Structure 1
Amino acid sequence: MATSAHRAGAYFRDIKKQGGWRHDRTTQGYIEEASRFEENAAGSLLRTRIKPA
């Protein structure tokens, strides 16, 4: 939920409240964990279609 909400532009405080987390760092951890899969070298391979030769 935190990742999807963050991607959709939800406010940090709203994500934190919805998740029931007391600490900012906990909420931020969920958001950062998901972004690791978006911002890596292999991610571009998954997003690119290879054209047949």
Structure 2
Amino acid sequence: MNKKGITWGWEVIGKIILVLVIIVVLIIAIGLLTGKSNEFVDKIRNIFIFGG
């Protein structure tokens, strides 16, 4: 029962990390495509680091 709980927790953490990685990759890709990478990525980075 305890082992099951730990496994479930890691699955959730893994999914959250995966989603965050995908979001960051998309943000960087969009930034590069629009040519506004610096300003846009800095804003997003500030949101992630400072919570907005």
Q: Confirm or deny a common fold (TM above 0.5).
A: no
Q: TM-score, normalised by structure 1?
A: 0.35
Larger helix fraction of residues: 2
Structure with greater Cα Rg: 2
Q: TM-score, normalised by structure 2?
A: 0.35
